[in-house]
Amino acid sequence: MDFSSDFTMTIDGEAVAGDATLEVVNPAQGAAFATAPDCSRAQLDSAVAAAKTAFPAWAATPEADRRALVHALGQAILDNVEGLTQLLTREQGKPLFEAKIEIVSMGKLLQAQSTIEIPVHVAEDNAHRIVETRHVPLGVVGAISPWNFPLLLSAFKIGPALVTGNTMVLKPSPFTPLSTLKIGEIARSILPPGVLNVVSGGDDLGPWLTGHPGIDKISFTGSTQTGKRVLANAAADLKRVTLELGGNDAAIVLPDVDVAAVADKLFWSAFGNNGQICIATKRLYIHESIYEPLKTAIVAYAARMKVGDGAEQGTRLGPINNRPQYDRVKSLIQDARENGYNFLLGGEVQNTESAGYFMPITLIDNPPDDSRIVQEEQFGPVLPLMSYSTIDEVVARANDCAFGLAGSVWSQDDDAAVEVARRLDTGTVFINHDQYLSPFAAFGGHKESGIGVEGGVEGLLEYTQTQTLVRKKQPA
Ligand code: NAD
380-399, pLDDT tens digit by residue? 999 999 999 999 999 999 99
380 ligand 1 Cβ < 6 A? no
Beta-carbon count within 10 A of 29 CB: 17
Task: Tell how far the Cα of 222 is from the centroid of ligand 1, in angstroms.
Answer: 2
Q: Summarize the confidence of residues 443-469 as an average pLDDT.
A: 98
Q: How far apart are alpha carbons 463 and 460 in whole angstroms?
A: 6
Active site residues: 244, 278
Task: Give the model's pLDDT for residue 106.
Answer: 98
pLDDT tens for 81-133 read: 999 999 999 999 999 999 999 999 999 999 999 999 999 999 999 999 999 99
448 ligand 1 Cβ < 6 A? no
- Label residue 355 by pLDDT band (50, 70, 90): confident
329 ligand 1 Cβ < 6 A? no
Give the full edge-to-edge strand order of the sheet including 382-388.
342-345, 362-365, 382-388, 281-287, 249-253, 406-410, 428-431
Within a 13 Å sphere around the CA of 225, how many CA atoms are in the beta-carbon half? 3
Task: Give the model's pLDDT for residue 476.
Answer: 77
Ligand 1: residue whose CA is nearest its atom 10? 173
Task: Give the model's pLDDT for residue 103.
Answer: 98
pLDDT tens for 15-33 read: 999 989 999 999 999 999 9
Task: Choose the residue to mutate in 148, 209, 244 for probing ligand 1, maximizing ligand atoms within 8 Å of C-beta.
Answer: 148
Task: Give the model's pLDDT for residue 171.
Answer: 99
Task: Give the model's pLDDT for residue 354.
Answer: 60
Task: Tell how far the Cα of 226 is from the centroid of ligand 1, in angstroms.
Answer: 6
Q: What is the mean pLDDT of the chain?
A: 97
Task: Give the model's pLDDT for residue 352.
Answer: 62
Q: How far apart are alpha carbons 216 and 238 in whole angstroms?
A: 8
Task: Give the model's pLDDT for residue 349.
Answer: 82
Task: Tell how far the Cα of 298 is from the centroid of ligand 1, in angstroms.
Answer: 30
What domains appear along the chain, each with residue ranges and CATH number? 9-245+449-468 (3.40.605.10), 249-431 (3.40.309.10)
Ligand 1: residue whose CA is nearest its atom 16? 206
Beta bridge partners, 132, equal 122, 469
Task: Give the model's pLDDT for residue 475.
Answer: 84
Q: Summarize the confidence of residues 171-180 as an average pLDDT.
A: 98
At 318 the three-state DSSP class reads coil
Query: Ligand 1, closest atom to CA 226?
Result: 2
Task: Choose the residue to mutate in 106, 221, 378 for probing ligand 1, maximizing ligand atoms within 8 Å of C-beta.
Answer: 221
**pLDDT exceeds 80 at position 353:** no
pLDDT tens for 129-165 read: 999 999 999 999 999 999 999 999 999 999 999 999 9
318 ligand 1 Cβ < 6 A? no
